[in-house]
Structure formats: structure tokens, C-alpha cells
Amino acid sequence: MEYKSIREMADEWGISKRRIQVLCSENRIEGTVRIGYLWAIQANAKKPKDVRIKSEKYRKNKSDDE
């Protein structure tokens, strides 16, 4: 199994490193492993939907929910 760091996933998904840390701590990304104070995320993990957004009005990229 191949893993990526938070920084690599942030670049790939186009969201902040801090947001990915929050998603990992909330168990919203499947296949994450906590190693000490670091998170390892499976390379093939899917970006979770952003449940903070209630309407499409404020979305920057409407195609991100794939």
C-alpha cells in the first residue's frame, strides 16, 4: 500500500494542509493512519465532500465533488 503526506494530498486536492488535518482527525478520509503526530493517507484515497457548504452559491469549483 502506498501512502502520501498531508502536504502531497493538499497539493493534489487543492485544499489547505490544515483542512486535511481536520478531515483526518474527524475520520472523514478512509485509509488514514496516524504515526506519532503525522498522518499518512492512502495514495488512492478519495476527497470527501465538504459538508460545511450548505448551498452551491459559495462554491469556488463546482466540479470538486467527484
Q: Is a pLDDT exceeding 90 seen at residue 2?
A: yes
Say if 52 falls within a structural domain: no
Instruction: Output the pTM of the full model.
Output: 0.73
Say if 54 falls within a structural domain: no
pLDDT tens, residue by residue, 15-58? 999 999 999 999 999 989 999 999 999 999 999 887 776 666 66
Report the candidate in 2, 5, 50, 6 with the shortest Cα–Cα distance to residue 28: 50
User: What's the pLDDT score for residue 57?
Assistant: 65
CB of 43 within 8 A of CB of 3?
A: yes
Contacts of 51 (CB under 8 A, 6+ apart): none
Q: How many domains are there within the chain?
A: 1
Q: How far apart are CA 20 and CA 8, in angstroms?
A: 10
Domain with 36, as residue range(s), is 3-46
Q: What is the DSSP string of 21-45?
A: HHHHHTT-STTEEEETTEEEEETTP
